[in-house]
Structure 1
Amino acid sequence: MLAMPEVNYIKHLREEEDLSINEIARKTGCNWRTVKKYADGESFQETLKFTKRGMMYEEGFGEIVDCWLEEDMKLKRKDRRTSKKIHEELRNNHDFKGSYRTVCEYIQHRKPQLKAAKVERHERLEHPPGEAQVDFGNMTVVKDGAYKDVKALILSFPHSNAGFSYPLPSENTECFLEGLKELFHQAGGVPTYLRIDNLSAAVISIGKGDKRTYTDAFLRFKCHYGFEVQPCNPSSGHEKGNVEKKVGYTRNNLFTTAPIMKSFPQLADWLKEEMEKDRQRLHYEKNVLIDELWKEDKKHLKALPLTDLPIYSVKSTKVNKYGEIEVDGKKIVIHKAKMKQGLVLKMEWDRFTCFTNGGEIVYQEDRPYMNTTRAIPWNDILIDWEKKPRSVKYSRFFKYLPERVQAYLTIHPEETRARVKGIKKLLEKHTLDDIHSSLETEERLERAPHELGYILEAKEAAYPEKLTEVHTPEILLNYETDLHTYDKKLCPSLEGGVS
């Protein structure tokens, strides 16, 4: 029911501003039925409120029945108490003096309310040691002067709130299983139960209840490492709330300013160190160091298998008439293969290998997504730096510049504005790496930006260096031809001979 000021406002919109029911509903955010009731209604009499009275409400018997009804909701229908059974238990065990009808009326009134409350309420879950949750999180890093989106696979243990993270380029099956394998090694064991959502890397289809159809690769991995799976219900992120929060916590604390990535192994080592440091804080609820709780968690982990499971998938493909195959949505030319030739692809998380049907390797390369990046908007950043040159070395983007360019911009603070403006102009024709290479000597750090431009243009216009020739026999390398011998043969008259 709406408060009287809201009712008055609806009436005003209807009578004074002559708005339609739908217009009022959009303006107030109320349901159109509610708006119609108050906009065109005549009676605004205050509703009388009554408090339920009787032994079910006043003497606590209702609380007992509520408890029984909630317990019964978790059982199969055939195992639940009937209204008659509830009345008998109240009468025999709790000295209830009321009638069977009183109990029936209370149950009829309360059961729909309890069912509705169950939909809205989530029970606080107790997580035993050794159980884990896993999920992907989208993170951004900087590689080779450009943004790169990576997927951080995060494994969290709710009992201790300990977390582990491993960076990957994608969320496909190979990346998911490779990441899980690495996380198990970081944890030093295998979780007893692993809670996952319905990600396509592991789940093919969702059935009723806990029934899921998993990929063969995931089932093979599960059998090898010996953990049990606890799947989440669709659209039920709260069921793995610990890892959901751990993803956000990791992003906010480690990736707010994008870290510099040299390679995936380097980024993985950095993440491992940071997650280890994070375990030296107090648990948010238990007031004990996470690292101490993790020791208890770790005791319940299963042992790692003696050998690791190689992670890869195999599929067949055929070379098209242009000599190409498709990998991760990208066309790749295979020069050693014939048109229409069938090939076998071995897909690992970071690279793929092409085999002929006879087992010969004809091509091997990184998967296309390994080198996918997004440009950093340097033009917009340099425009801001030009306005505030003193902020350059404090900017979050400054560390993404090549080292020599950093030094060039800050070596003379009074010239920073002019140098920022010059670098912005140079970027119209050259890359940051080109500018970095042009600053190869300390003397060039003193040059003006336009002078660096001349150096870069001269370098681009220069002829390529002479190639080393290795095919001429060594005996002929310094041999000089005597052309007089040819003259005697061609023109004997010049040498005193007879023509």
Structure 2
Amino acid sequence: MIGMEFIAEIRRRHFVGGESVSAIARDLQLSRPTVRKALTALEEPAYKRRHQPCPKLDDFRARLERWLDVEYRLPRRQRRTARRLFEGLQAEGYRGSYDPVQRFVKRWKASRASSPGVAQAFVPLAFPPGETCQFDWSREAVELGGIPQTVKLAHFRLAYSRQMFLVAYPREAQEMVFDAHIRAFAFYGGVPARLVYDNLKAVVDTIFAGKERQFNRRFLALANHYLFEPVACTPESGWEKGQVENQVGNVREWLFTPCPKFAGLAQLNAWLETRCRELAARPHPTAESRAVADCFAEERPLLRPVTASFDGYVENSMRVSSTCLVQADCNRYSVPAEWAGQVVSTRLTADTLRVVADGQLLAEHARCFGRGQMVCNPWHYLPVLEKKPGALRHGAPFREWELPAAIRVVRDRLLRHPKGDKAFVEALLLAREAGFDRLEVACELTLKSGVVTGPVLLNTLRRLAEPARPRRLEGVPAPALRLEPVADCGRYDSLREVRHAH
């Protein structure tokens, strides 16, 4: 780009001096197209930057705009800067640079300030009772067990009564969405006719023109079970569910400022449910003479009753490894040894993992939310121990096996002797049929005897597992004969007179 001084000289040399375009370009070391462009220019050319594409930010534009829209309603001191918004997007999975986020925030703020004194206009809405409920997620900072963490908070809000429900989860996954709906419908005591969502992946698979959506098939199973109509908002139009969007900012101010502290997630959710009931005593936003709880009492009978709870799991098929493990959500869980190498189904819920095959439940574990953890049930490996008893000493499933004190002492003493591991494995095999409580009693009796060996332990356990003998009936008189036979020993003398043929 050339300056105005060059443009004036070029026009003067051509129009006044009569020099050709080629001569001017050669003398000023410019291209001929540049010289021709300068001849037609009357003002200094301004550099117009084209719109710069930001492909990595495209998937996060709606979320970033929603954050900006929510924080625009907050006091200026409580709004996040572009740098803080960039860090929030990084926590959500954004892998781009900071500059596109900064430019987007700058353009968004400029669009809001382009018409000073003129606010965006909306039509006031009125919802009939029992019809509409709005749903959204938010990220909140808490301290659980002394560790600062970020939890995902599921927000529900009945549009008529403004009754809200909150529940926290470690992450924003589909099984968490299912569990949040189950808890919300139980809290409300019924199901509304419509639920309004963002276009989150757990709900919407594909966005078409207008309001057309291809909903997730598993989510449709939830909607069909509770018979509510799912409605997805227009992208980047958070005002279509403005009540719950506004609730996100209010809840952060009311409940999460300052940062709350709890022993665990269960205690946090119990506190949130209590606070939802307490906050219902606030005045209704439109009917100020009534409380939210009064409007909810009017709306509750119009909700559809819940006849049966939905089994909100996400299912995947996989093959059991040779170490009797299946992987789910970056962690490994044990399966009974007889299913090693076979295909099973894992069903993830918000707090459990179930392993199912051939219509039967094979294993159930409490779900872990870390990474690289291994959750094992030692009883799943008992058939392997029957063939390889030496694995009892160093097997990972048995190293941290929490056993009663008596069983642990007997095990440690038996492992000091040759083939003691085999004897303890035989005791475990007997306990599988006789019961773990009897094994504990057998170990206690073995310790009292002072002789801790495999045969003594097995003998004690077999005696405990032996079925009880029937009691002897006492006090019942034996039947008496009315005519007792007379003893006649002479009959035997007649046998001596019998002659035998030879």
Normalising by the residue count of structure 1, what TM-score does the alignment of the two structures yield? Answer: 0.48
